[in-house]
Amino acid sequence: METITEVLTQAELRRRARVRDEYSRRVGPLQEWDVEGDEADWPTPAIVRDLQAALRLADASQTLGMRHLFRFTIGEYLLRQTHGSSATIQDRQQSAVVEVPILDEPVPFWQVGARLALERKRVLREALESTTTSLIQGFLPLYRDFWTGLFGVVEALGYPNLIALWEELFGVRLDAFLQPLETILRETEGTYHERMQWHLKRALGIRLEDAKRHDILALFGVDETATWFTRAEMLPCLQQWLDDWGWQFDAHGNLRIEQYPALAGGSWCAALEIPGDIRLALTPAEGMRGYAQAFRETGKSMLLASLPADVPRELRCFPDPSILEAQAELYGGLNRTPRWVQMYRHVQQSEEGLSLARLERLYVVRRYIGKCLYERTFYEDAVLDGKEEAYRDALRRASGFTYPESYYLYDIDPGFSSFWNVRGWVLGAAIRQQLQRLYAEEWFREPDARLALHEFWRQSPSHTFEDLIAQVNGSTLGVDAVVADLLSDL
């Protein structure tokens, strides 16, 4: 049996090796920083079982760190066990093309979403999505193999279903997590339907109940604020805002800024060593989405670089993904904030132009809540047949229109990422509301707000997500601040 210290060391080597490999893919070789992890043999089933036992026997002071270490380790184990089927799916999708006779040329499968978002003719979108849906239908046997294999691996580890594994990783009951999400759906439904109906009628001349998935992509594919967010001004704008807020990169030697004319995937936070070597790779981009990604990655970098070096490794090296997403959402959301846009993009009447971006955020949050509610049904047993209707109903309730049932295996993010993201968005929204209450509308320029936020993130590794949101909200179940944030300025 390996000691916990040995498992920690190997887990951190694996994490760093994955970051190094991603850095090489996105940026280029990283010759001055090398690390080798045992790709073939780690983690073994014995290591996973030992960590299971250690987590269940841990005292209150050890539980959180053990849970973080176990989350990373079992994630690596499941990736290994399902690598063959997931690689087959990836290869098929990367090589697949969608051929529609009325289009000039075939569309690579991975480009369909972007093509639908840019296509103004509904008849062409309808034809493209119909053919894509048929292609996804053909992928279903591959997805069935993947999920059947994953369910089998989880059951072999002693979990009756994926819900039991989820609850051990998150440390809460699934129903307790979903209850406030149900409330968010109810409390935002009226405004969501009203605003979505208005924008669909204005832009596409259709009603929400008649909309298709491709209509929503086209609705949000038109960036009415593109001229506000120019490529040449992105990096100077980011730097100016941080300077005004009092954040000086020169004062943080562990956070290195790297600027490139172009990057695969756009701007990116590379946590080579936490907190000792954080790289923020930035590249100019245009449009609100390009700016938002750079700001999101900046937020992650600032959080990771701020973590105390003396925090136990299991808490420091494997941070809760929801905490990182909360910071990313908080910073990325500045680009749809009217006052910030007025001050840093010099647009005086921005409210109407930003309304579609704020509606898109509400749509995405509601859609992911719908996915979480569907995944509760999906994860409760290993039976794959008959769950198409649960997918259709959950997504229709959340979005207001019908998704194709054949997406019921395709539209699931392995690794519980829907849950991690929604938790992060909820925390990020609650923090923004608190900052506005304490430091007024221009909190993003108040040094005291930056210092308070910095201290909040510094102590975050030692607290559960539920503790952190209770600090902000006063309750782990309170959603009033989140609803207010989602509906603000709509």
Q: Which residue has the higher pLDDT, 55 or 489?
A: 55
Residue 356's pLDDT is 93
Number of helices and strands (H, E) in the chain?
20, 5
Q: At what angle do helices 465-473 and 417-439 cross, to 10 degrees?
A: 30
Q: What is the mean pLDDT of residues 206-224?
A: 94
Q: What percent of the chain has pLDDT over 90?
A: 88
Give the torsion sign (CA, 127, 128, 129, 133).
Answer: positive
Q: What confidence tens digit (pLDDT) does each residue in 101-134 have?
A: 888 899 999 999 999 999 999 999 999 999 999 9
Q: Is the pLDDT of residue 39 over 70?
A: no
Residues 165, 166, 167, 172, Cα dihedral to 10°? 160
Q: Name the region of 140 (left: φ>0; alpha: ψ -120 to 50; beta: rest).
A: alpha
The residue type of 370 is G
Q: Which CATH class is domain 171-490?
A: mainly alpha
Residue 1's pLDDT is 55
Residue 395's pLDDT is 97
Q: Choose the weakest-confidence range: 26-40, 64-78, 421-435.
A: 26-40
Q: Is the pLDDT of residue 36 over 60?
A: no
Tokens, residue 370:
């719908």
| 298 CB-near residues (< 8 Å, 6+ apart) | 238, 242, 267, 269, 280, 282, 331
Per DSSP bridges, beta strands 97-98 and 107-108 are antiparallel
Q: What confidence tens digit (pLDDT) does each residue in 288-332 have?
A: 999 999 999 999 999 999 999 999 999 999 999 999 999 999 999
Residues 257-287 as b/e (b if ≥16 CB within 10 A, e otherwise) read: beeeeebeebbbbbbbbbbebbbbbbbbbbb
Annotated domain spans of the chain: 1-81, 96-158, 171-490
- Report the distance separating Cα 422 and Cα 441, nearest Å: 25
